[in-house]
Chains A and B, each alone.
Chain A
Amino acid sequence: MNFILRIWRQKNAADEGRFIEVPARDITPEMSFLEMLDVVNDEVTKAGGDPVAFDHDCREGVCGACSLVINGEPHGPNAKATTCQTYMRSFRDGETITVEPFRARAFPVLKDLVTDRSAFDRIIQAGGFVSVNTGQAPDANTLPIGKDAAEKAFDSAACIGCGACVAACKNSSAMLFVGAKITHLGLLPQGQPERDRRALAMVAQMDAEKFGNCTNQYECQAVCPKEITVANIAQMNRDYLVASLKKLFAG
């Protein structure tokens, strides 16, 4: 297969950036999208050019490193899949494919397709945890947790922190990401003591990082490779409201 890539090139954070067209030749349908980029980069390098920078690591859909907006869609055309799990058989031979970085004010571009998503780390640092030091834990089975609650908690905990939700949202809202962590820990008994604190602290940090607000377009849910649903956002809003009210009445 052969393609034309209309690809975003940007030297560094200060550069303006622009689309450049590059051919992708002799691609096979079994190649992943990132393997196709590897082939293109090898050609670019051999021709004396600067290879296209993009984030990736596990290449099996779980580390959350890979990103890319492909033909306008974060993580490309397939539902429930990351860019590294997107295979070239999903594209038409001869097609022109547009490839851009995730775009959001809170995710500045560092080079080409690489963005800075450290805002997510700072949100977790603000409260996305259970405060338990090593060695303080009681025996694991002293606290039974219903199978359904555990499964639901897993569904939210499955978030890979890739940021596609932010990239898909016209307001660049991070609420799906934040809601997923609040819901994961809020569903478990271990998460209860800090539930209010967590919601307040994570939301405050989210706002400080300049993510936008949710206006119920559900684009985030549609692109999430891990099928995190907007119910997580509703849960976050509830927890935040309850925590804010409690704080208000506590004086």
Chain B
Amino acid sequence: MNLDSKIPGGPMAQKWDRRRAEIRLVNPANKRKFEVIVVGSGLAGASAAATLGELGYRVKCFCFQDSARRAHSIAAQGGINAAKNYPNDGDSVQRLFYDTIKGGDFRAREANVHRLAEVSVNIIDQCVAQGVPFGREYGGLLANRSFGGAQVSRTFYARGATGQQLLLGAYQALSRQVGLGRVQMFARTEMLEIVVVNGHAKGVVVRDLVTGKITSHAADAVVLGTGGYGNAFYLSTNAQGCNATAVWRAWKKGAAFANPCFTQIHPTCIPVSGEHQSKLTLMSESLRNDGRCWAPKAKGDRRPPREIPEAERDYYLERMYPSYGNLAPRDIASRAAKRICDEGRGVGPGGRGVYLDFSDALARLGEATVRERYGNLFDMYHEITAEDACETPMRIYPAIHYVMGGLWVDYDLMSTLPGLFVIGEANFSDHGANRLGASALMQGLADGYFILPYTVGDYLATAKVKRPSADAAEFKQAEEEVHARVKRLLGVNGKRTVSEFHRRLGKILWENCGMARNAAGLRKALQEIPALREEFWKDVKAPGKNEELNQALECAGRVADFLELGELICRDALARDESCGCHFREEHQMEDGECRRDDANFAHVAAWEFQGEDRPPVRHAEPLVYEETHLATRSYK
């Protein structure tokens, strides 16, 4: 497998300029002759589809929701980073670059991250021009807040609904292109197969989720912006529909899967309340600007929080990480919360929770200001827990939130399957072993607005394989595969529901491949998951038929893929015999419980290659070369 990252030569700060200068262009009249398929209408997919349409390509965009506007990006809360340095507090492209590399625990590709920091400033300009109502100061200029892992304020926000406002901006840009006839939008349509012709990705097979009709679409290039696979863990902060089907199909058709075990656990989510819970709700990291994390100093202290005197509270993040305090990065803050609860100092039902307390901020700023900043988050918290965060501290606990792993891509965002590009959370490119808050929105929009539309042009200008007809044999065969899979799912007709299997898979992953991992647990998971998968194919019940709106069938297909991906996640976690970022192997820790990286053996990207259903996948390595930064031990103390 060829893992040529195609990083341009020259100084770090000039690589992207250089690549842009080299890229071959498609002349405007020819752009109309090219068709590009974009799967996904989240920040990455919508921004890419809109921009490709503006450039003059013919675009087809797909999403499984009933409208492009409902993609999971809509739920992002806290903000988006950019190196604007508007607050004049010392930020720069270089600093955002360094913070991201360090935040990712030196497991990301420098050149990609540098480019991300460079284009971050253009994103804010673009979004403001679209009418995104970012928060502002009284003077009319844009406001910023702080996020974890940074000592500057570089996060732009629209109250606690930044993702919603950014996505609506991209959706409106996309809608404009739909109205102009340059983009054809297919909502309620799920991609179920990638079609490969002469070694290149040249189309997709999709299922109409209303009628069940299975059809083929041919194109000159295919772009996946299909989001992350955190839902493999069942309980996560992701939307219910988030899934891995598109990337999993691509993997089986030759696209390498990079760092699948790099999954992020967010420190501040509302704790689990019961068996039938279907999701966990995030409380944005922005709350840690003004909220202080604490737990009782004494084990088993069951007094209500307000009755615990100051001296008997442990503001554990401020104690352990004095220079970043409550704004320590996510992996570190999550593990700290877990440690507190493991020590028996957790609060709330089952002792799996810590406090996030706003009383200092309320005293300092007054309730009105605090509510203006976080009102909608406090409302959400109240809906779920019936408690008011202005009166009693929030209870929070870590939950699965995001995946840094994804399909491997080169500097041009192309996977190892030529013609297949991957953007947004679906690729692995920029966050290493841990993503900093407010950087996913930045990456999704950087990919979609400013990177992919250029790099895809280079492929189109030079690709030897032309767009086939959707009647070609390869399409018929792919359609057959989809029909066969659907038939198999409906045919099991067992006794257990899809959600039961999903819940069990989630439990195996959370217990053995969650916040802390070890070889014995991972080996156990690697036995349990295939056994569960076997049981699934014997005993799952997906009722109904294909030719109708059949949500149980949709879920069954997604869970079937999670049951395979879950195994790859554990396999990768076992093979990476070091700790880094979110990947915490208990065997490799410092005396103080921090990650012990092994740069001699693991300063690389692990890229897994599919070998067929009955052979184990092969692990390849793309070495990470650090030109600009030194591999240092991360410290937030």
Contact = CB atoms under 8 A, between A and B. Distances in A.
Nearest to B545: A50
A92 B273 CA distance: 20
B374 interface: no
B166 to A, nearest CB: 11
B281 to A, nearest CB: 5
Contacts of A111: 210, 548-549
B117 to A, nearest CB: 17
Contact of A141 (B66, B86, B158): B86
B86 A57 contact: no
B141 A144 contact: yes
B67 interface: yes
A61 B381 CA distance: 12
Contacts of A31: 274, 276-277
A64 B142 contact: no
A2 interface: no
A145 interface: yes
Interface stretch (B70-78, B340-348, B530-538, B616-624): B70-78
Interface in B120-149: 122, 124-131, 133-142
A36 to B, nearest CB: 8
Interface string A145-180: 111001101100110110000000000000000000
B318 interface: no
A53 B141 CA distance: 46
B279 A62 contact: no
A48 B172 CA distance: 43
B128 A140 contact: yes
Interface string A1-43: 0000000000110000000000000001011101100110110
Which has the most chain A C-beta neighbours within 10 Å: B240, B241, B450, B541?
A: B240
Contacts of B139: 144
A210 interface: no
Contacts of B276: 28, 31, 35, 38-39
B499 A129 contact: no
A80 interface: yes
B611 interface: no
B491 interface: no
Contacts of A251: none
A55 interface: yes
B553 to A, nearest CB: 10
B159 interface: yes
B140 A147 contact: yes
B10 interface: no
B278 A38 contact: yes
Nearest to A114: B549
Interface string A51-89: 101011111111111000000000000001100010101
B497 interface: yes
A49 B543 contact: yes
Interface string B573-592: 00000000000000000000
B125 A154 contact: no
Nearest to B52: A134
A87 B75 contact: no
B541 A121 contact: no
A192 to B, nearest CB: 10
A110 interface: yes
Which has the most chain B C-beta neighbours within 10 Å: A53, A85, A157, A185?
A: A157
B632 interface: no
A136 B129 contact: yes
B125 A134 contact: no
A85 B450 contact: no
A242 interface: no
Contacts of A132: 126, 129-130, 173
B495 interface: yes
A57 B136 contact: no
Query: Which range contains the number of B residues in contact with the other chain?
Result: 35 or more
Given A143-B128, A157-B168, A62 B161 contact: yes
Interface string B553-569: 00000000000000000
Given A35-B277, A42-B497, A46-B541, A62 B128 contact: no
B495 A46 contact: yes
A140 B240 contact: no
Chain A contact residues: helix, strand, loop or mixed: loop
Contacts of B133: 150-151, 153-154, 157, 184, 188
A146 B84 CA distance: 20
A124 interface: yes
Contacts of A46: 495, 497, 541
Nearest to B178: A125
Contacts of A130: 129-131, 172
A121 B165 contact: no
Given A124-B171, A136-B129, A59 B240 contact: yes
B50 to A, nearest CB: 7
A217 to B, nearest CB: 26
B70 A154 contact: no
Given A42-B499, A60-B281, A144-B141, A50 B544 contact: yes
B386 to A, nearest CB: 7
A118 B66 CA distance: 7
B126 A65 contact: no
Contacts of A160: 74, 164
Given A58-B75, A130-B130, A45 B552 contact: yes
Contacts of A56: 240
B175 A125 contact: yes
Nearest to B498: A45
Contact of B125 (A110, A118, A139): A139
B383 A50 contact: no
Contact of A28 (B131, B164, B274): B274
B84 A140 contact: yes
A79 to B, nearest CB: 11
Contact of B278 (A35, A125, A136): A35
B176 A62 contact: no
B570 interface: no
Given A116-B66, A121-B68, A190 B278 contact: no
Contacts of B240: 56-59
Contact of A161 (B69, B72, B122): B69
A134 B141 CA distance: 22
Contacts of A131: 176
A240 interface: no
A31 B50 CA distance: 39
Contacts of A114: 66, 549
A215 interface: no
A184 B131 contact: yes
B458 interface: no
Given A46-B541, A132-B130, A137-B129, A147 B136 contact: yes
Contact of A134 (B282, B380, B450): B450
11 contacts: A31-B276, A42-B499, A45-B497, A57-B241, A58-B239, A59-B240, A125-B176, A134-B50, A145-B140, A150-B136, A153-B133
Given A157-B168, A188-B133, 16 more contacts: A38-B278, A45-B543, A55-B66, A58-B239, A59-B239, A62-B74, A64-B74, A85-B384, A110-B210, A114-B66, A129-B130, A133-B51, A135-B449, A135-B450, A153-B131, A161-B69
Interface of B: 47, 50-51, 54, 65-70, 72, 74-75, 84, 86, 122, 124-131, 133-142, 158-159, 161, 164-165, 168, 171-173, 175-176, 178-179, 185, 187, 210, 239-241, 273-274, 276-279, 281-282, 379-380, 383-384, 386, 449-450, 453, 495, 497, 499-500, 541, 543-544, 548-549, 551-552
Interface of A: 11-12, 28, 30-32, 34-35, 38-39, 41-42, 45-46, 48-51, 53, 55-65, 80-81, 85, 87, 89, 110-111, 114, 116-118, 120-121, 124-141, 143-147, 150-151, 153-154, 157-158, 160-161, 184-185, 188, 190-191
